[in-house]
Structure 1
Amino acid sequence: MKPLWRLNKYLFKYKGYLILGIVFTIISNIFVIIPAQLVRVAIDYVVESFSFYQFYDGAEIESVARSGFLKFIFIFGFLILVMALLRGLFLFLVRQTIIAMSRYIEFDLKNEIFQHYQSLPLSFYRRNSTGDLMARITEDVSRVRMYVGPAIMYGINLLVLFPLVIGYMLSVNVRLTLFSLLPLPVLSLSIYFVNNLINERSEKIQRSLSNLSTFVQEAFSGIRVIKAFVREADSANDFEKASENYKEKSIRLTLVQALFYPLILALIGISTIITVYVGGIEVINGAIGYGVIAEFILYVNMLTWPVTSLGWVTSIVQRAAASQTRINEFLDEQNDITSSEELDEEIRGEISVQDVSFVYPDSGIRALHNLSFEVKSGESLAIIGTTGSGKSTIANILMRMYDPTEGAIFVDGRDIKSYKIESLRKQIGFVPQDVFLFSDTIYNNIGFGTDGLADEKIHKAAKDADVYDNIVDFPNGFGTRLGERGITLSGGQKQRVSIARAIAKEPKILLLDDCLSAVDTKTENAILNALKKIMEDRTSIIISHRVSSAKLADKIIVLDDGVIVEKGTHEELLARKGVYADLYEKQTQSNEAVEE
């Protein structure tokens, strides 16, 4: 139960719902006990009245006795009906308080987890899979909700009903009470074990279903490859094997579930038989009346579900505790990317990187070693290097996705750690290598990094990124909804929309992280021409493995295995005939060969 203590703050927050739920549970159980007592009185009255009625058989007073007899029977029936309706009303109120409380807690917990996820550094997402993150905020939270909802509701009901019913039963007849309740502990333990089997097999089915869904998703996503290599038959056979596994697990679960209700009914039946048998002996001995037997049968049936639910609730609590442990594991993660002074001021864009080294904490790979360079406000710098040279790592540390292992970074002469993280990132326009567009309109994608822009500024950003004409040619223009990850657009269009999104917020620093790697030469030239205007009077850092992108920059540094091997202007580096000149020659020859 210890992991679940973390939920006490929510129970305290919604204590009004919980208290009302307890009150309504007590009242509803009072209305379930009274009808059983009315049944006992009614049966005893019928038995006694029948003997009295026989005594006056054939006499004139018979009709009067018959009328009075029927009148009392009607009153008993009416009272039992009223009690049932009142119990139904209060059971409704119980669910409207405790179950509603569980939904509020589920809502708050999901929001807490999601907000905490977003506050964690990039390293957290490198260590954990997206599927695991989603499972904890969906399936695990749902299991926890079962604890704060149904488990608490049935637990309270059990704690209220048992003392009321058993206390009254013992006051009537101790021997009959002990015998009639004899099968209930067996029932509870049986349900506990059966329910554990159901849960265990259900989890196996969920894993099997997850694998099946993953297989289908991959098959449909890669349908072009499957068709191109004529592997439809193999894909269908693999799906059949996965489906067979799911079918076998489902049948095994069905077998266990088939035992559930017969087991309950059998033990209830045994309890009823024992009650009738022992109660009959007590009636013969004159210890109780006929109505007590019926009353006790009703009590046994009242206690059956709470006792049954005891095993079910125990299983829910166990699963909730396991899920809350998983949730707590991520909630206890701390963000080590913090601000030392929480400075929130406008920057000019002057950047100074001094003796920076960086080792990825999750893999131990050294990406940068003693890196130093400066970019004045309004200047542009190109960082050129092959794959794995550490180019994207520079973008990550400038955005404070990571902090350097050694060295320091200064913006406008201040340590980058002194700035408020949100303020710093709002003033940096970032265009990633792997373009990500949301399944929303083009308009909202361009305005994503802002708190609401006028149409003119959205249109201007699109024009500056040389994508405006493409957008207005669409039937719905800027209102065109993009598919998943922007699949509706071509590679070049996605790249330019991503650039428009970065410049729409008018950043002081523009950071282009190898954003032209996925486009052809013609599209690259069009985007580069658009970037010339965008980069004017703005600190710009162009990260690329293509030397063609470096022509736009005032200065160029060449990276190799995390170390700066060359620096200078485009002309200076060509004249030096070093690594940059070699890359330029190879890429130029490659482009000429492609054109031929």
Structure 2
Amino acid sequence: MKALKSLNKYLWKYKWYLILGIIFTIISNLFGIIPAQLVRYALDLVIETLDIYYLYNGVSLQSDMYDIFAFSILLYGFLILLMALLKGIFLFLVRQTIIVMSRHIEFELKNDIYAHYQTLPAAFFRRHSTGDLMARISEDVSNVRIYVGPALMYGINLIVLFFLVISYMVSVSPKLTFYVLLPLPVLSVSVYVVNSMIMKRSQEIQKQLSALSTYVQEAFSGIRVIKSFVQENRSNANFQKEAEVFKTKSLGLTKVDAFFYPMIVLLIGLSNILVIYVGGQEIINGRLTPGNITEFILYVNMLTWPVMALGWTTSQIQRAASSQLRINEFLNENTTLVSEKNVSRPLDGKVTFRHVGFVYPDSGIKALHDFDLTVQAGESVAILGTTGSGKSTLAHLLCRLYDPTEGQILIDDVPMKDYEVRGYRRQIGYVPQDVFLFSDSIENNVRFGTEDMPFERIEQAVKDADLYNNIKDFPQGYETMLGERGITLSGGQKQRLSIARAIARDPKILVLDDCLSAVDTNTENIILNNMKRIMDQRTSVIISHRVSSAKLADKIVVLDEGRIVEQGTHTELMALNGAYKELYEKQLISEEV
């Protein structure tokens, strides 16, 4: 239950919903208890009046007595109906407070989790699958919502009703009350034992659900690959295997849940037997009336539903605790990418790498070794190298998606860690190697990250990225809606749209991470020629495995296994007859072929 303490701040925020819900629960239960007393009075009235009624058999007074008797019974019946109506009204108000409160808490909890996800570093998302993240913000939050809603409502109702009913029962007969409550210790021990089983199985179910969600998300993301390799049957078989494990674990929990109902019915039945047996002896001894026994039976049956709901409530609380534990696991993770001095100012664009080394925290792979480089403000540098040489790692470090594990990066001679993170990133234009577009219009994808970008800038950015003619050919133009991950566009169009998105925000530092790999040489030349104007007076880092992409750069750096092996201008590197010249000649021959 410790995990659920983190929900107290939400309960405190919506305390008036909870307080009113408790008040309405008390009132509704009072209107539920009063009819039992009315039944007692009515039954005792019938028993007492019948004997007198038959004594006056054949006398005119008997008719008057019948009228009074019938009116009294009718009045009791009317009062019982009135109590039932009032109880229904207040039960409605209970749901309008406690259940509404649970929906508010669910809304806020989902927003808090999503907002917290946004603050976590890229390393967190490399460690955890998308399916697991989704399961915690959807299924786990739903379980928590049931706890702060229906489970809490039934729990409060049980406590209030138990207190009120036991008070009335003790006032009538302490001895009979003792026998009625005799089975309760057995119930308490049973609940404790079964709860332990429920907790363990709930955690297993939630873990399996995350695994199932991850598999489904991955399958649908790669549906084109699955179809291309004709692996639909294999994918379906794997899904059935995962679903079978989930079903087996869910059935195991259901079997435990099913144990509550017959156990509680047995205990309630035992209480009724004790009421009738002990109550009968009390009537014989003249200490109680038949109305009292009827009243006690009604009280016992009144407790039946709340006690039966105890099993479900306890199960849901345990599930919620298990889910909240999983939610807290992520909420307790804090980003290491924090600003030390919160420096917030416009950048000039000078970038300095001082003996930077980097090891990926999740894999332990060392991507950079003693990387030392200075790029002056407004200067452009090309980072060349083969796959796995550490090029993209530099882009991640420049965007501060990670911090170096060795050395430091300075921006305008100020350590990058001193800058306010969001303010710094707003001045960076980043085109990732793996293009990601949102399921929105082309215009909104270009405008992404800004609030009031004029359309003229969007259009110019699209022209610079050589995408203007393609957009004109679309029936809806800039309002064309892209599918998931931009699936409606070709690979080259997606890359060019990603470039347009980066340059439209007029960044101080532009990072192009192998962003022209999906376009042909002719389109690459057009984009690079357009980039001359864009890169003017702006620090640019062009990361590529193509030598042709480096021709605009003032400086070229050649990487190999995370180390700088050569650096200089095109002419200087060609004169060295080293790695750059070898790479240049290989690609030149490839293009000629």
Structure 2 Cα separation of the partners of residues 273 and 107 of structure 1 = 47
SS state at 2:511 partner? strand
In the alignment, residue 422 of structure 1 is paired with which amino acid?
A: R
Matches within 5 A, 1:140-179: 140-179=140-179
Does the CA-based 8 Å contact 1:40-1:292 persist in structure 2? yes
Deviation at 1:446, TM superposition (A): 0.7
Work out whether 1:476 is the aligned partner of 2:476.
Answer: yes
Aligned to 2:370: 370
Deviation at 1:275, TM superposition (A): 2.3
Does the CA-based 8 Å contact 1:187-1:307 persist in structure 2? no
Change (3 A) 1:355 1:233: closer
Aligned to 2:496: 496
Aligned to 1:431: 431
Structure 2 Cα separation of the partners of residues 305 and 567 of structure 1 = 79
More moved, 37-46 vs 356-365: 356-365
Matches within 5 A, 1:213-362: 225=225, 228-229=228-229, 261-362=261-362
Aligned to 2:42: 42
In the alignment, residue 147 of structure 1 is paired with which amino acid?
A: Y
Does the CA-based 8 Å contact 2:358-2:405 persist in structure 1? yes
Aligned to 1:7: 7
Aligned to 2:586: 586
Does the CA-based 8 Å contact 2:542-2:549 persist in structure 1? yes
Change (3 A) 1:241 1:398: closer
Structure 2 Cα separation of the partners of residues 329 and 219 of structure 1 = 26
Does the CA-based 8 Å contact 2:349-2:539 persist in structure 1? yes
Work out whether 1:555 is the aligned partner of 2:555.
Answer: yes
Does the CA-based 8 Å contact 2:428-2:511 persist in structure 1? yes
Structure 2 Cα separation of the partners of residues 32 and 451 of structure 1 = 57
Aligned to 2:112: 112
Aligned to 1:384: 384
Deviation at 1:444, TM superposition (A): 1.0
Structure 2 Cα separation of the partners of residues 162 and 483 of structure 1 = 56
Structure 1 Cα separation of the partners of residues 405 and 209 of structure 2 = 43
Work out whether 1:62 is the aligned partner of 2:66.
Answer: no
Aligned to 2:420: 420
In the alignment, residue 465 of structure 2 is paired with which amino acid?
A: A
Structure 2 Cα separation of the partners of residues 169 and 34 of structure 1 = 12
More moved, 200-209 vs 523-532: 200-209
Structure 1 Cα separation of the partners of residues 332 and 217 of structure 2 = 33
Change (3 A) 1:373 1:238: closer
In the alignment, residue 577 of structure 2 is paired with which amino acid?
A: K
Unmatched runs of 5 consecutive residues or more in structure 1? none
In the alignment, residue 310 of structure 2 is paired with which amino acid?
A: L
Aligned to 1:103: 103
More moved, 438-447 vs 45-54: 45-54
In the alignment, residue 417 of structure 1 is paired with which amino acid?
A: K
Does the CA-based 8 Å contact 2:257-2:312 persist in structure 1? no
SS state at 2:551 partner? helix
Does the CA-based 8 Å contact 2:386-2:560 persist in structure 1? yes
Deviation at 1:28, TM superposition (A): 1.7
Deviation at 1:237, TM superposition (A): 5.3
In the alignment, residue 12 of structure 1 is paired with which amino acid?
A: W
Aligned to 1:571: 571
Structure 1 Cα separation of the partners of residues 466 and 23 of structure 2 = 67
Aligned to 1:543: 543
Deviation at 1:213, TM superposition (A): 6.1
SS state at 1:367 partner? strand
Deviation at 1:242, TM superposition (A): 5.6
Change (3 A) 1:466 1:10: same
Does the CA-based 8 Å contact 1:106-1:145 persist in structure 2? yes
Change (3 A) 1:252 1:133: closer
Deviation at 1:141, TM superposition (A): 2.4
Change (3 A) 1:49 1:20: same
Deviation at 1:264, TM superposition (A): 4.1
Deviation at 1:383, TM superposition (A): 0.5
Aligned to 2:128: 128
Structure 2 Cα separation of the partners of residues 388 and 483 of structure 1 = 31
Deviation digits for residues 166-219 of structure 1, max 9, x if unmatched?
122122123322333334444565566667767766776666666666666666
Structure 2 Cα separation of the partners of residues 323 and 209 of structure 1 = 11
Deviation digits for residues 334-374 of structure 1, max 9, x if unmatched?
22222232222211212222222222233332222222222
Does the CA-based 8 Å contact 2:130-2:217 persist in structure 1? no
SS state at 1:556 partner? strand
Does the CA-based 8 Å contact 1:188-1:311 persist in structure 2? no
Deviation digits for residues 385-423 of structure 1, max 9, x if unmatched?
111211111111111112222323222232222221111
Does the CA-based 8 Å contact 2:392-2:543 persist in structure 1? yes
Deviation at 1:468, TM superposition (A): 1.8
Structure 2 Cα separation of the partners of residues 247 and 316 of structure 1 = 18
Structure 2 Cα separation of the partners of residues 407 and 221 of structure 1 = 38
Indicate the percent of aligned positions where both proteins have the same amino acid.
Answer: 64
SS state at 2:541 partner? strand
Structure 1 Cα separation of the partners of residues 152 and 251 of structure 2 = 31
Q: TM-score, normalised by structure 1?
A: 0.91
Aligned to 1:407: 407
Deviation at 1:158, TM superposition (A): 2.7
SS state at 1:543 partner? strand
Change (3 A) 1:452 1:362: same
SS state at 2:342 partner? coil
SS state at 1:552 partner? coil
Does the CA-based 8 Å contact 1:187-1:308 persist in structure 2? no
Deviation digits for residues 68-114 of structure 1, max 9, x if unmatched?
11111111111111111111222222222222222222222222222
Change (3 A) 1:311 1:228: closer
Work out whether 1:514 is the aligned partner of 2:517.
Answer: no
Unmatched runs of 5 consecutive residues or more in structure 2? none
Structure 1 Cα separation of the partners of residues 220 and 364 of structure 2 = 36
Change (3 A) 1:239 1:306: closer
Deviation at 1:546, TM superposition (A): 1.2
Structure 2 Cα separation of the partners of residues 235 and 152 of structure 1 = 41
Does the CA-based 8 Å contact 1:512-1:542 persist in structure 2? yes
In the alignment, residue 163 of structure 1 is paired with which amino acid?
A: F
More moved, 178-187 vs 288-297: 178-187
